[in-house]
Structure 1
Amino acid sequence: MKLPKVPKHSFLLLLISLLIMLIVPPYLREYSLLHFEGLLLNPFISTIFLTSLYLVTDNRRFFIIGLLILLPVLVINTLYYFDEKYLNSLTATLSYIAFFAYICVFLGRFLARSKTVSINVIYAAVCLYFFIAIIWSFIYITTYNTLENAFTFSATLQESVLPENDPITIFSYFSFVTMTTLGYGDITPVHPIARAWVSAQTVIGQLYLAIVMARFVGLYISDSRTGKSK
């Protein structure tokens, strides 16, 4: 049985939600006078997870399977509000990776099956790019927690925040600057396994922009011009 049709421009809303999820938490931690940032963020992030699952699955069976994968993530997300160290367990990081990988599979399928390139398809492609970076952030957290001295951190970074106290902030930042090959040098992969994951993400990030995004944007512009000429 199919789920209700995804509304137009829904992936734009998902993209905006992902941007808010990345940008807003540091401000809440910095300026929240009553330390309510966890209370505010926990329902919001859980809502984004549920919305993401609903948007990318077009079949009720796949949606239910996704809910089963999401359930431990929601539990961990709630426990993280009370104690941030819950995220440092291997079970926690693998649960996040499994859920976001599930989302990526359906986003990729949606993009592959798109017969025409609309603006919503472009938004979906950008969302997939974001989710890949998010997956890699949890891969880095797993690597950091399981391999001793997998990464080194600059003195300035260690003075502002300890990686073990706020791994999501540190490695989300590292994942996105690696994905775009920006790199500020404040986090350095030292262990060969960490370097391998960094190399893989760098290649995937560049190929995604050069092939996938460039293709969709090019087709969208071409279709727009063809439509106007008619």
Structure 2
Amino acid sequence: MMRMLSRSISVAGLALCLCAGRLLAQESGGSNFRWYVGGHGGVTFFSTPTGSSEMPVAGGHLLIVAKRTGLLLSLDHGFGSNETSSYDFVVVDSAGSAVNQGTVSTTFSGLRKASAVLMVFPIKNDYVNPYLGVGVGILHTTGNDPDNEATSALGSSGFGSLIGGLEFRISRFTAFGQYQITTKPQVDEVRTPIAGGLELREFGRLTVDGTHTLTAGLRFDLGSSRESVKTGGYK
């Protein structure tokens, strides 16, 4: 199921990039089509089956902007310590009847999130710009204990995402503040054949509900990609 989910997220991300490419191509002109690279930090709020918590996050991003649209690619890492979680299991026989069941307690030390977001700048000027975005991504836990196939699968999930923010331009630098919310992950299941014709079914999620992330950061204007292409001798 996780492979199918990852494939679906990859397809959605590719479609998002293609859509963004078409919009950027339609809008680009002069100095409007630009590349930005930057870093950011903040805090993310999340929930597990055992409770709610938060952890500091830091990351980097690449932003491609036309007149009123853009494509944001970002990678965040949350730094936690012994964040508690759990998942359930059941052992069934060949007839599908449960012969044993219970809950496995786990911990993890971090959250890693990769996002691709199509952005819109409804009001744009040279100084202050609000923006909105919609996108997809993958979230997974790091430093799982126990570290096995079940925690790896149940700690990873695809998501849909909405963002909103405000940026302030200062020369070739842009300072910004941003809020991102992600969708709730679906329950996943890992099935493993064991001795005696039995099957172990492990299911749940190490993180439940959506995440809420507040970040602030700085990005640097790398210039117009059209100018860089011309410099290389292409028309």
TM-score norm. by structure 2 comes to: 0.23
- Pick the structure with more strand per residue: 2
- Pick the structure with more helix per residue: 1
Q: Identify the structure with bigger relative contact order (alpha carbons < 8 Å, sequence gap 6+).
A: 2
